[in-house]
A and B are shown apart, each in its own frame.
Chain A
Amino acid sequence: MNRQPRALLSVLLIGVIGFVGWRWYNSASTEQDNATEVVVSEQSTRGGSITVSLRSEPRSFNRLVDRSVPVDMFTFLTNSKLVRVNRATQELEPGIAEKWTVSPDNRTFTLTLRDGVTWSDGTPFTSADVVFTFQAIYDPRVESLLASSMMIGGKPVTVTAPDPKTVTLTMPAPFAPGLELLDNLHLVAKHKYEAALKAGKFAEAIGVATPPPDLATLGPFVLKSYVPGQRIVFDRNPRYWKTDTAGFQLPYLDQVILEIVPDQNAELVRLQSGQFDMLQQNIRPEDIATLRPLEQQGKVRLIDVGASLDPDAFFFNLRSPYWAKDPRRDWITRKEFRQAISHAIDREAFANTVFLGAGVPVWGPITSGNQKWFSPNIQRYGYSQARAKEILAGLGLINRDADAWLEDASGTEAHFTTIAYRGNSSIERGGAVLRDELKKIGIRMDVVPLEQGVVIQRMIKGDFESIMFLYTQSNLDPAINSDFWLSSGSAHIWNMNQPKPATDWEKQIDDLMVTVTSAGDQAERKRAFDGIQKIFAENLPVLYFVTPRLYMATSTRVGGLTPATLRPQLLWNAERMTVRQGR
């Protein structure tokens, strides 16, 4: 055989193999994505409008200075991120930065921005905007709420722009979550807000009174109007950079309307009557039964999103000075006392009473909703009143006067007071269940419902015996929520802002957090965090009983939904939502 045709054949063969390989790789990647993202009712319709409820009024449209739900919703609809955590897969994925490289020391990240991305006013988006955003966050006059979360070990990230398409981020110390940090970053337009930043008026420049054309954004939607007390209307951003797999420009919807309805009952009625397509947050357990018949009639869709990331927390004040002169000091801060309480609670009954069955028993702050960090192997305290009484007896708490309550050796009754949010039905019901269950083992618990602000004030001051509380996690990665875990953290709710760890086990957690925060190897980080969860479960500074199963309710005309446990559970992917025309 002649050599030339053979060479040609070889080139052809390599080409075919390469092409097939490339197609296989692409299809495999897509299959992998689809396998982890559950898209509910995909519809191909383009255009249309959906109406979503919003329970509170926006205070600002500036995510750098406000952290409320309305500004979060605004940000998800109008903002694009450099990279984002996919709420469904819980993995990092490219955004405006199409790719990135990491230096060998895991501290410098070089991001390449996509071509042709423009702000909603048509100005090209460049790396200078990223540098400007970091400048605004770190400017003390802005008092940005993102400043502390965008610092590593209290030091700012160094951000440079070698060219308009490249951004370099250098961490001041090893930071394991790496670019996940950018999931919180709301980009702001340099050409629009530079003057305001220099004048010290950056916070007001992106306010609710700012005319919509003055708000340059990068997201799938742009603000059309805000009518105070009534609604926020968003139109499709014709300059949005993202396209679907078929090459069609996203978003599919023409309009998203957020209707401000402060009352949850009124919100539900409007969903039932077809005026709303979607509710802002998960529905209450008691509303599931109300919506079931409508679901069967095909008017409403109920989506079980899974176990919530945020179970209600119950914790004692573990600041020793608070108990110094209290006769209960010998047993009330002991871990055995908390372990006895954990044994005394029937979590199944708790789930049935508090969440009407729509709850999952939990044993620590990380629930199964957090796929990457949940540890199923932590210590569990099975329901056993006998075991609880046994532990309490070991602490010297026995019934000494034949009444209903236990007493210690000095005759002090086993009792404590819990303050709880008033108006939060799960916390109020949870408090009642806890009180009744503890009564069975001879512990008197008085539940005092207080206004949310008062609970927070007393928690910050350390002026409480125990609290029932809902602590919402903003991120999945514990390194980004380190304020909760570290003894020096401002969200270390049982004993905040410690100058040095008050206990050995808190010191152990602090030490392990160093690995969680800085190790380059994910498996090593997970091992360290499993260790933290184990220590936490043994010492129980915070007790968790049940986390609710989250149910989202939508009208059946909405499609393209990708439900997730992290907020906003449905709107995080609004660009891919579709709607069937007509009601």
Chain B
Amino acid sequence: MGRYLLTRLAFALVLVFVVSSAALLLTRLAPGDFATMQGVDLSVEQREQLRERLGLNRSFAAQYLSWASHAIRFDFGQSMLYSRPVGGLVKERALNTAVLAIMALLFATAIGIPLGIYSGTRSGIGRSLIRVLSVIGVSVPPLIGSLALVFLAARTGWFPVGGMTSAAGIDLTWSQWIADLARHVPLPALALAIPMAAALERLQSEAIESASRERFVAASRARGVDRARSILRHAWPVSLRPVLGLYGVMIGTLFSGSFVVEVVTSWPGLGRLMFDALKARDLFLVAGCAATGALFLAAGTLIADLLLACTDPRVRAGERA
């Protein structure tokens, strides 16, 4: 297990380095640089001065080597846009994104898995209704979903329309602040969770339907185990394999920040930061955001694999073999 974890950690580090390097390269190759993005307000001399100060007039190789030599020490440089260390900026936003991602995962799991088990093991109108809703949930783009939720919040007043905390947030005690945060989280978390819950429901439903037909489930029923227990204790753990595989991707996607949902619901996360950085051609901030996204993706797949190993004995057996 230790060797396995070490291998995965090494893979994660390589992934982070490759993804951030690729982000840096692609941003550099895109037309325009940070100095150009300042518009026509800068004179030719001012623009050149800025390029020189930021090292933008150096060759890509020189720029990359300088960045990489710092990046291997987890120093991703200084943001050109905010004149602050990339590490600090990314940390601030990654925490916000993590809060949102965890809540979205919990919502998606709490909605998608039970509905999937129900629709995969039952027949009738309930199953059909869930399937229709799932298809809608999967098909609706996050932009439309989040806008619909924002309008719903505005109409009903059930949730704040956007933001992470209310304006009085800074004067609140910790407990009040958490309560305030809890009021703001559902809207963006649901916007992220609904398509994922729908995808989980579809996958879980098919997986459990297939697992329910396995002989060991029939054997358990023959031993006198009731239907519900037979499904939950025997069929469900087996059906989790494809579902947990999806979790790896979901964790990576959620934790690297969803730009659309963050913009519409004014959530100050990584997605928004990365978009602003891309627009301004802030090379180092783009690379820092990409590195964080890659790190989350690697961590997500690792967590999913570990969960799979815990739930499916065949995976553990495979590892020993």
B307 beta carbon closer than 8 Å to chain A: no
Among the stretches B60-68, B236-244, B265-273, the one at the interface with A is B265-273
**0/1 per residue, B264-294, Cβ < 8 Å to A?**
1111110011001001110000000000000
Residues of chain B with a CB closer than 8 A to A208's CB: 82, 84
**0/1 per residue, A439-473, Cβ < 8 Å to B?**
00000000000011110111110000000000100
B276 x A459 contact (CB < 8 A) = no
B147 beta carbon closer than 8 Å to chain A: yes
- What's the least CB distance linking A526 to chain B, in Å? 26
A231 x B167 contact (CB < 8 A) = yes
> What is the bound-complex CA distance between A458 and B32, given in angstroms?
8
B36 x A490 contact (CB < 8 A) = no
Residues of chain A with a CB closer than 8 A to B150's CB: 265-266, 269
A341 beta carbon closer than 8 Å to chain B: no
What is the interface of chain B, defined by CB distance below 8 A to chain A? 31-32, 36-37, 39-44, 46-47, 49-50, 53, 81-84, 89, 92-93, 96, 147, 150-151, 153-154, 157, 160-165, 167, 169-170, 263-269, 272-273, 276, 279-281
B161 x A273 contact (CB < 8 A) = yes
A143 x B50 contact (CB < 8 A) = yes
Q: Of B43, B89, B163, B263, which one neighbours A259 at CB under 8 angstroms?
A: B163
Residues of chain A with a CB closer than 8 A to B39's CB: 456
B263 x A263 contact (CB < 8 A) = yes
A266 x B264 contact (CB < 8 A) = yes
* 14 A–B contacts, CB within 8 A, in A order: A49-B167, A51-B167, A143-B46, A148-B43, A228-B93, A261-B162, A262-B263, A265-B264, A272-B154, A453-B36, A460-B47, A471-B40, A490-B40, A496-B40
Residues of chain B with a CB closer than 8 A to A349's CB: none
> What is the bound-complex CA distance between A459 and B67, given in angstroms?
30
B164 x A266 contact (CB < 8 A) = no
Given known contacts A265-B147, A266-B266, A460-B40, is B84 in contact with A453 (CB within 8 Å)? no
Instruction: List A residues 9-55 near B (Cβ within 8 Å).
Output: 49, 51
Among the stretches A56-64, A74-82, A113-121, the one at the interface with B is A56-64
B263 x A227 contact (CB < 8 A) = no
Top-9 shortest CB links A-B: A229-B268, A453-B32, A457-B32, A273-B154, A457-B36, A490-B43, A454-B31, A453-B37, A261-B266
B167 x A257 contact (CB < 8 A) = yes
Residues of chain A with a CB closer than 8 A to B37's CB: 452-453, 456
**0/1 per residue, A214-231, Cβ < 8 Å to B?**
000000000011011111
A457 x B276 contact (CB < 8 A) = no
> What is the bound-complex CA distance between A56 and B167, given in angstroms?
17
- Minimum CB distance partner of A224 in chain B: B170
B266 x A260 contact (CB < 8 A) = yes
Residues of chain B with a CB closer than 8 A to A265's CB: 147, 150, 264
Residues of chain B with a CB closer than 8 A to A458's CB: 31
Interchain Cβ contacts within 8 Å, total number: 135
B167 x A259 contact (CB < 8 A) = yes
> What is the bound-complex CA distance between A496 and B39, given in angstroms?
13
Residues of chain A with a CB closer than 8 A to B276's CB: 56-57
A275 beta carbon closer than 8 Å to chain B: yes
> What is the bound-complex CA distance between A233 and B172, given in angstroms?
14
- Minimum CB distance partner of B31 in chain A: A454
- What's the least CB distance linking B319 to chain A, in Å? 42
A228 x B31 contact (CB < 8 A) = no
Q: Of B93, B161, B279, which one neighbours A269 at CB under 8 angstroms?
A: B161
B40 x A459 contact (CB < 8 A) = yes
Given known contacts A59-B81, A203-B83, A490-B44, is B157 in contact with A229 (CB within 8 Å)? no
Residues of chain A with a CB closer than 8 A to B89's CB: 228
- What's the least CB distance linking A20 to chain B, in Å? 51
- Minimum CB distance partner of B157 in chain A: A273
Q: Of B32, B268, B272, which one neighbours A456 at CB under 8 angstroms?
A: B32
- What's the least CB distance linking A465 to chain B, in Å? 17
A145 x B269 contact (CB < 8 A) = no
Residues of chain B with a CB closer than 8 A to A257's CB: 167
- Minimum CB distance partner of A269 in chain B: B154
B93 x A229 contact (CB < 8 A) = yes
A454 x B161 contact (CB < 8 A) = no
Residues of chain B with a CB closer than 8 A to A148's CB: 43, 46
B31 x A497 contact (CB < 8 A) = no
Residues of chain A with a CB closer than 8 A to B92's CB: 228-229
- What's the least CB distance linking A47 to chain B, in Å? 16
B281 x A453 contact (CB < 8 A) = yes
Q: Of B50, B83, B160, B281, which one neighbours A204 at CB under 8 angstroms?
A: B83
> What is the bound-complex CA distance between A471 and B53, given in angstroms?
27
**0/1 per residue, A198-221, Cβ < 8 Å to B?**
000001100111000000000000
Given known contacts A227-B169, A230-B163, A270-B162, is B40 in contact with A263 (CB within 8 Å)? no
A185 beta carbon closer than 8 Å to chain B: no
A433 beta carbon closer than 8 Å to chain B: no
> What is the bound-complex CA distance between A261 and B154, given in angstroms?
15
Given known contacts A266-B162, A453-B281, is B273 in contact with A229 (CB within 8 Å)? yes
B40 x A230 contact (CB < 8 A) = no
> What is the bound-complex CA distance between A471 and B151, given in angstroms?
34
Q: Of A209, A230, A233, which one neighbours B164 at CB under 8 angstroms?
A: A230
Q: Of A229, A272, A452, A496, which one neighbours B269 at CB under 8 angstroms?
A: A229
Given known contacts A229-B96, A270-B162, A454-B32, is B83 in contact with A59 (CB within 8 Å)? yes
Residues of chain B with a CB closer than 8 A to A225's CB: 170
> What is the bound-complex CA distance between A387 and B297, given in angstroms?
63
- Minimum CB distance partner of A57 in chain B: B276
Residues of chain A with a CB closer than 8 A to B83's CB: 59-60, 203-204, 207
A67 beta carbon closer than 8 Å to chain B: yes
